[in-house]
Amino acid sequence: MTRDFPAVLKQFSDFVEPFISAISLIKPDDERTPRGDHHGTGSFFLLDDVRLLVTCEHVANVPANVILGMTQYGAEHALSIPGAFFTSEYPVDVAAIHIPDENWNRVPHAARCVELNMLSRKHEPVESEYLYVYGFPGDDAAVGFGQHSHRGLAVFSHEIEFSSVTVDEEPKPVEPHHFFIPYNPENAKLLEGSNSVLSLADGMSGSLVWNTRYTEVTSQGREWRPEDARVTGVLWGHSSKAGVLVVTKIEYLRYFLSIDAD
């Protein structure tokens, strides 16, 4: 990169964070204060004037007596998620739910929605392109002052080749639905904080994966901006054995959301 790496990461984190929601799970017998545990990550979309919360099917699929909650950027309180998700099961594993205006505006916040022009038509980053993921690992969800405090984790990396190491895992990543991003201490550096090891990726399921288009834009002699980035997938899971994050490609999310890919 030709500019300061931490500065680029901070600039893009500031751009992405308002779209993101930490999803919590509250069981009926939970009597703690505050109730619930961190469960997954989602993002807000606005498509044809319909506001959605998008995540993974395995995050949204919970028993009927369990309550899911969502956060909005800048809000002091979390909210319960209204109604039921519509879903697409493995291997696509995505889910979405309508967020009505009365829920969206219930508490003051600074959350924003991903719009159609922010979505890639298909997953096809240029060679050596930088991809970006921001989500909430379960290990980093803490409780304080009567509320859940979620510390996000950013991954800034490149796509790697599909690995046969995961062939025996269940559920296993499959081509052409998924692609890999490396996630291990050998190729990831902690830019902020005092932890000596990477957080476990549990809880990041449902995070959007962005094609920053940094390499694409700067190779054309243009100044890169965060607005140049496009969503290129949804984080589906991770493999500790292979040291990768597994991502569902944007084509399958577009199809699920009935967005014409042509």
Instruction: Give the strand pairing for 86-88 and 79-80.
Output: unpaired
| pLDDT tens digit sequence for 36-49 | 888 999 999 999 99
> What is d(CA 14, CA 189) in angstroms, rounded to the nearest whole number?
19
The closest alpha carbon to 159, from 122, 111, 119, 127, belongs to: 127
Tokens of residue 236, six digits: 């589906």
What's the mean pLDDT in 147-163? Answer: 72
Tell whether omega for the bond before 176 is within 30 degrees of 0, i.e. cis: yes
Is residue 245 within 8 A of residue 133, CB to CB? The reply is yes
**All domains of the chain, ordered by start, with CATH?**
5-17+117-256 (2.40.10.10), 19-115 (2.40.10.10)
Structure tokens at 257: 């959301």
User: What's the pLDDT band for 194 if we cut at 50, 70, 90?
Assistant: very low
Determine the pLDDT at residue 205. 92
The pair of three-digit structure tokens given for residue 254, joined into one six-digit string: 């577009």
Selected residue with higher pLDDT from 154 and 57: 57
222-256, pLDDT tens digit by residue? 999 999 999 999 999 888 888 899 999 999 999 99
DSSP H or E run through 67? strand 67-70
What are the CA-CA distances from residue 38 to residues 162, 163, 192, 251 (Å)?
30, 30, 22, 28
Is the pLDDT assigned to residue 209 strictly greater than 50?
A: yes
Q: What is the pLDDT of residue 193?
A: 44
Helix (H, G, I), strand (E, B) or coil at 75: coil
Phi-psi region of 168 (alpha: psi -120 to 50; beta: other; left: phi over 0): alpha
List pLDDT tens digits, range 72-84: 999 988 899 988 9
Burial bucket for residue 127 (CB in 10 Å: 0-12, 13-18, 19+): exposed
DSSP assignment letter at 223: P
d(CA 136, CA 150): 7
Residue 50's H or E segment, with its range, is: strand 50-55
Query: In the structure, what pLDDT confidence band is assigned to residue 4 with cuts at 50, 70 and 90?
Result: low
Measured in degrees and rounded to the nearest 5, phi and psi for residue 81 equal -90, 125
Provide the 10 A C-beta neighbour count for residue 92: 21
